[in-house]
């Protein structure tokens, strides 16, 4: 089921959140995103081989998959981009990912040289044209990947935040909006404490995101944060969270 996050008739943002087989409790739930502007489309974090066929079919109702312009990858993890080979074969899309990861992508594909269809996003980020609109690749390094980007859509004011804000909830296919932030914290706490590299990085991110007009933060796992008040609650929480290397001591580095 696609969740319509935004639709003004010309510019559409869709989320797919129930494509990981519900029986696959051994696999983490993932959200995939399609942004359409006129006759142009971009997939954000299309996922791995578990979701490829279902995503291809589900998006077809809204946008012809073979016309896909772009695949935007927040980082190079399997749940983000392991299906790349099928998209490269089935469409003529260009894939964009941190320049730190471009030379790792051929390990997801058949080894064919897709250099001409690969764009490495520079560390400072960039603006990416999509139809008459543009998406902004925001630096999100070390949250959690070393070369990491989030994608902000100024039309819908949605921030596709990758692993930032991710929650480990059971996949119910609805991409719920968080209603009670305090009650939601325990779904995020363990993940952010380990996967986010340090509080310093979270504070830099918070300062950057506060300069944007964000109506919704939609992570790649779990629920979304809807409305400026809930967006601010998340930003305030994460900028105060000790995490990653902040928590490490010599005790974690002993020979077993």
Span of 49-57, 77-85, 86-94, 173-181 interacting with Fe ion by CB under 5 A: 77-85
Residue 79 C-beta: closest distance to Fe ion, Å: 7
- Tell which residue, 30, 23, 16, 118, has the closest CA to residue 79: 30
Span of 57-65, 69-77, 181-189, 225-233 interacting with Fe ion by CB under 5 A: 69-77
Closer CB to Fe ion, 12 or 164, in the complex: 164
Q: Which residues contact 19 (CB under 8 A, 6 or more apart)?
A: 30, 32, 47, 50, 51, 54, 55, 58
Assess 45 for contact with Fe ion (CB under 5 A): no
Q: Is 111 left (phi over 0), alpha (psi -120 to 50) or beta?
A: left
Residue 141 C-beta: closest distance to Fe ion, Å: 13
Residue 2 C-beta: closest distance to Fe ion, Å: 23
Span of 39-47, 71-79, 97-105, 106-114 interacting with Fe ion by CB under 5 A: 71-79
Assess 69 for contact with Fe ion (CB under 5 A): no
Residue 19 contacts residue 47 (beta carbons within 8 Å)? yes
Closer CB to Fe ion, 37 or 77, in the complex: 77
Site for Fe ion in 151-170 (CB under 5 A): none
Residue 146 C-beta: closest distance to Fe ion, Å: 11
Assess 77 for contact with Fe ion (CB under 5 A): yes
Residue 53 C-beta: closest distance to Fe ion, Å: 22
- Tell which residue, 44, 85, 42, 95, has the closest CA to residue 65: 42
Residue 144 C-beta: closest distance to Fe ion, Å: 6
- Tell which residue, 205, 203, 110, 194, has the closest CA to residue 161: 205
Closer CB to Fe ion, 41 or 162, in the complex: 162
Closer CB to Fe ion, 77 or 226, in the complex: 77
Site for Fe ion in 101-120 (CB under 5 A): none
Tokens standing for residue 127: 């603006």
Q: How many chain residues interact with Fe ion (CB under 5 A)?
A: 1
DSSP string, 151-178: EEETTTTEEEEETTT-------SS-PBP
DSSP string, 83-142: THHHHHHHS--EEEEETTTGGGGGGTS-S---GGGEEEEPTT-EEEEETTEEEEEEE-TT
Closer CB to Fe ion, 77 or 153, in the complex: 77
Q: Can you give the binding site for Fe ion, defined by CB under 5 A?
A: 77
């Amino acid at each position: 089921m696609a969740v319509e996050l935004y639709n003004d008739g010309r510019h559409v943002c869709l989320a797919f959140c129930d494509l990981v087989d519900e029986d696959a409790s051994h696999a983490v739930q993932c959200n995939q995103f399609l942004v359409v502007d006129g006759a142009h489309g971009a997939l954000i974090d299309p996922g791995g081989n578990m979701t490829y066929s279902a995503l291809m079919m589900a998006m077809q109702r809204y946008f012809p998959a073979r016309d896909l312009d772009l695949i935007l990858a927040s980082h190079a993890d399997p749940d983000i981009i392991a299906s790349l080979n099928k998209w490269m074969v089935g469409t003529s899309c260009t894939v964009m990912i941190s320049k730190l990861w471009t030379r790792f992508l051929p390990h997801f594909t058949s080894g064919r040289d897709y250099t001409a269809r690969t764009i490495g996003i520079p560390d400072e980020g960039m603006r990416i044209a999509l139809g008459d609109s543009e998406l902004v690749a925001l630096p999100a390094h070390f949250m959690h990947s070393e070369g990491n980007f989030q994608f902000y859509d100024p039309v819908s004011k949605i921030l596709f935040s990758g692993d930032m804000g991710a929650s480990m909830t059971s996949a119910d296919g609805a991409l719920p909006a968080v209603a009670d932030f305090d009650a939601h914290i325990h779904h995020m706490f363990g993940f952010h404490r380990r996967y986010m590299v340090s509080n310093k990085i979270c504070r830099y991110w918070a300062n950057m995101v506060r300069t944007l007009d964000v109506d919704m933060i939609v992570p790649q796992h779990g629920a979304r944060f809807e409305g400026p008040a809930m967006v601010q609650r998340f930003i305030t929480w994460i900028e105060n969270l000790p995490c990653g290397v902040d928590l490490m001591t010599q005790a974690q580095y002993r020979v077993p």
